[in-house]
Amino acid sequence: MKFLLLTIISIFLVACGGDSSGDKVNESQTPNDINSSGSSDSSDSSDSSDSSDSSDSSDSSDSSDSSDSSDSSDSSDSSDSSDSSDSSDSSDSSDSSDSSDSIDSSDSSDSSDSSNIAEVVSPQLSFEMPDNIANECEFNVQVINSASTNISNIDWFISNESSEILMQGTVNDGNISELIIEDSGIHTLTVSAQYGDELEYGYSDQLIVYESIPKDIRATDYIVKSGETQYLCEDVNIWNDATLKLENGSSLASVDENVKTILMWGNVEIAGNSENRISISNIKLENSFFSTDVEVSVAVAYADFINNATIENFQGNTDIYYSSFDSHFYQEDEGTLQYNVFKKGLSIAPNGTVIKNNDIYCGGLESCMFVKDYMFGNDFLNARPIISMNNFYNPEDKSITYNSDSFTGSNIDLSGNYWGDMTSAELDDVFFDANDTPEKAHIFLFEPMNNSVNDSTGISSSTDSTDSTDSTDSTDSTDSTDSTDSTDSTDSTDSTDSTDSTDSTDSTDSTDSTDSGYSSTPENIITCISLDGAYVLSLEEPSVYLGFFGNQIAPDSILNTIGTYGSSINLTSVRNTIGTYGSPYSMYSVANNLTDTPPAIYKNGVRIAHLTTNQSLDRDVSLENIDAECTFTASSPAR
């Protein structure tokens, strides 16, 4: 009985102890354990912050339910909810949430840094440089930043084609000032800009540096070679022992828009051709009374004087052919202007000047032509000029006049020029002379006028015959190529017989050999012996002595290449290929194939030949043939 009672008590105690252990389990659960089980329940949520909120709410209800429940099965369920795997999941979820937060925070920080960097915009640099840069010429460069970048500093350097640094410095207020590069060639200007937090931006561009004319040209010829471009930084002096020469296709210009002056104590030769013209811009070639006041030679062919480029030769000789002038031109002394274009008129002091076959534009000009010192001194100081066969376009009223009568010796002859469709009455208004004011004593003679445009590209036969020195002897100069022959043939007793006419010509020539004809006596047949000692005169009025055919050391010999008349640069030399007597364009030249008035050869006062390349003339002989065939011994001319 006792045994049975003890057994029942033992079973009852075991039953009570089991319930007690379940309560302890429930009491021993910490809030974290409960939260873990709640996080597990809400593990499906994609938003970890929402999951945390959900778990808190769930845990609160669960905890309440668990504590309120006395049902052992509920306790068992509660115990199940704290399953280690769930707790592990909850832990993983917590770690994942923490890791996610950490990554997000890091990404947010990186994103912020990235946006800060993007706000620093790199500079956009460029250069503003002169149009022309030449060695030894000072120039400035402006460095321009087209972006809004705050630049702390800009360094610069200039390097040559070998990458050798020639100079360097720092940009001040956006400028690189007072640069002078010693050598011509292709150089590079490079800048490096510092901005932001130790950031750099580089930019570079080419500097094409041309040759510049030296300040002083002395003791030797200075040549701008064919195809070259050279610039003037400042005014230049050509001294009397030197010559400035520009070859065909070359260019000479002021380095900027300001006119530069070449002061001429020495000669200038500008020799272009029809295919390779010479360009001269904003350069004035000057020999004036107030600066140099010497006698120099300026010879120009196929050149374009652009902008304000011009020539002012106060004393000496200026010969210009096939050239153009943008600005008003001033012919100050002797020379020939032929086949040129004067776009803004011209002014002349015509001491024996020949002005022919030019296009002269006058439209809109108050002064198209101003004539000074015309026949001043009654032929004693000034030789009579020739101003004919030119084309004057659109002259304004009173746009052609002359200076005071004190320096004007006669009426001014402008006959034989073309004036467009203007009538005589209209032309009366163009000239301002004695017909307009009692203060002037002379008038312009413009009739007869040419009714068609004069030849401005070559010499016509009518032009030559009217200009021929011998034409005064001609009965019908327009019908004869050689006006002398025409004169002779009219004297012939049998003009229908060409043989008789020729004989008559010879007879007439021998009768008047010193004036207009040639002697036909055997001793004057053209040979090297007959030329030895013969002298040369131009066929202009008055004639100019051009040397004689003598030995190579005689001072006046044409064969003395360093003498006055054998030099290639002297004004009165037939060997000056751009001068009045050696140019292929001058009407008084030995090298003009078309002219009827080349220099003549005399011996003992008798004309014996023409010195010319024009084979249509009687007794023509060229300088080239004489040089090739003859040797002379004479030491003085046979006058």
Could you give the C-alpha distances from 560 to 247, 337, 522, 563, in angstroms and in order? 25, 29, 29, 5
Q: What percent of the chain has pLDDT over 70?
A: 69
Average pLDDT, integer, range 397-425: 86
- Rank 16-30, 104-118, 566-580 by mean pLDDT and report only the highest: 566-580
Of 199, 188, 203, give the one whose Cα is nearest residue 143. 203
Average pLDDT, integer, range 423-441: 89
Q: What is the DSSP string of 257-323?
A: SS-EEEEESSEEEEE--SSS-EEEESEEEEE-TTTT---EEEEEESEEEETT-EEEESSEEEEEES-
Of 254, 213, 257, give the one whose Cα is nearest residue 237. 213
Average pLDDT, integer, range 477-481: 35
DSSP, collapsed to helix, strand or coil, labels residue 163 as coil
285 within 8 A of 291, measured Cβ to Cβ? no
- Rank 287-301, 492-506, 536-550 by mean pLDDT and report only the highest: 536-550
pLDDT at 467 over 70: no
Average pLDDT, integer, range 319-334: 88
Could you give the C-alpha distances from 170 to 165, 203, 344, in angstroms and in order? 14, 14, 48
DSSP, collapsed to helix, strand or coil, labels residue 424 as helix
Q: Tokens representing 637?
A: 């001319």
pLDDT at 561 over 90: no
Average pLDDT over all residues of the chain: 75
* Distant-in-sequence, close-in-space partners of 561: CB < 8 Å, separation ≥ 6: 552, 567, 568, 575
Q: How confident is the model at residue 412 (pLDDT cuts 50, 70, 90)?
A: confident
β-pair partners for 545: 537
Q: Tokens representing 16?
A: 């009570």
pLDDT at 519 (0 to 100): 32
Could you give the C-alpha distances from 270 to 279, 296, 302, 475, in angstroms and in order? 10, 14, 8, 41
Q: How confident is the model at residue 268 (pLDDT cuts 50, 70, 90)?
A: very high
pLDDT at 283 (0 to 100): 96
Could you give the C-alpha distances from 223 to 220, 244, 245, 249, 262, in angstroms and in order? 10, 6, 5, 13, 14
pLDDT at 74 (0 to 100): 39
> In angstroms, rounded to a whole number, what is the distance separating the alpha carbons of residues 202 and 156?
10
pLDDT at 384 (0 to 100): 73
pLDDT at 115 (0 to 100): 46
Q: How confident is the model at residue 293 (pLDDT cuts 50, 70, 90)?
A: confident
Tokens 């001429």 appear where?
264
Average pLDDT, integer, range 322-337: 87
pLDDT at 383 (0 to 100): 66
Question: How wide is the angle at C-alpha 512 spanned by C-alphas 623 and 633, nearest 5°?
Answer: 35
Q: Between these two residues, 508 and 400, which has the higher pLDDT value?
A: 400
pLDDT at 211 (0 to 100): 93
Please state the pTM of the whole predicted model. 0.56
Q: Tokens representing 471?
A: 């034409």
> In angstroms, rounded to a whole number, what is the distance separating the alpha carbons of residues 619 and 621?
7
pLDDT at 478 over 90: no
Helix axes 72-81, 2-28, angle to 10 degrees: 40
Q: Tokens representing 247?
A: 């070859």
pLDDT at 512 over 60: no
pLDDT at 41 over 50: no
Of 182, 243, 245, give the one whose Cα is nearest residue 218. 243
Question: How wide is the angle at C-alpha 38 spanned by C-alphas 35 and 44, nearest 5°?
Answer: 130
586 within 8 A of 336, measured Cβ to Cβ? yes
> In angstroms, rounded to a whole number, what is the distance separating the alpha carbons of residues 369 and 342?
11
270 within 8 A of 249, measured Cβ to Cβ? no
- Rank 134-138, 400-404, 496-500 by mean pLDDT and report only the highest: 134-138
pLDDT at 408 over 60: yes
575 within 8 A of 583, measured Cβ to Cβ? no
pLDDT at 569 (0 to 100): 86
pLDDT at 386 (0 to 100): 85
Average pLDDT, integer, range 556-575: 91
Number of C-alpha atoms within 13 angstroms, CB side, residue 57?
7
pLDDT at 126 (0 to 100): 94
**pLDDT tens, position by position, 42-100:** 333 333 334 334 334 334 334 334 333 333 333 334 334 334 333 334 334 334 334 33
pLDDT at 148 (0 to 100): 83
pLDDT at 246 (0 to 100): 95
Could you give the C-alpha distances from 216 to 181, 187, 270, 321, 499, in angstroms and in order? 19, 26, 19, 28, 64
Q: Tokens representing 423?
A: 């009538």
Q: Tokens representing 393?
A: 């376009």
β-pair partners for 602: 535, 607
Give, for 41, the enclosing helix (H) or strand (E): helix 31-41
534 within 8 A of 540, measured Cβ to Cβ? no
- Rank 25-29, 45-49, 101-105, 561-565 by mean pLDDT and report only the highest: 561-565
Q: How confident is the model at residue 525 (pLDDT cuts 50, 70, 90)?
A: low
Distance of alpha carbon 462 from the chain centroid = 40
The domains found in the chain, sorted by start residue, are 29-118 (no CATH), 125-210 (2.60.40.1930), 518-629 (no CATH)
Q: Between these two residues, 5 and 478, which has the higher pLDDT value?
A: 5
319 within 8 A of 580, measured Cβ to Cβ? yes
Average pLDDT, integer, range 104-131: 64
**pLDDT tens, position by position, 600-610:** 999 999 999 99
Q: What percent of the chain has pLDDT over 90?
A: 44
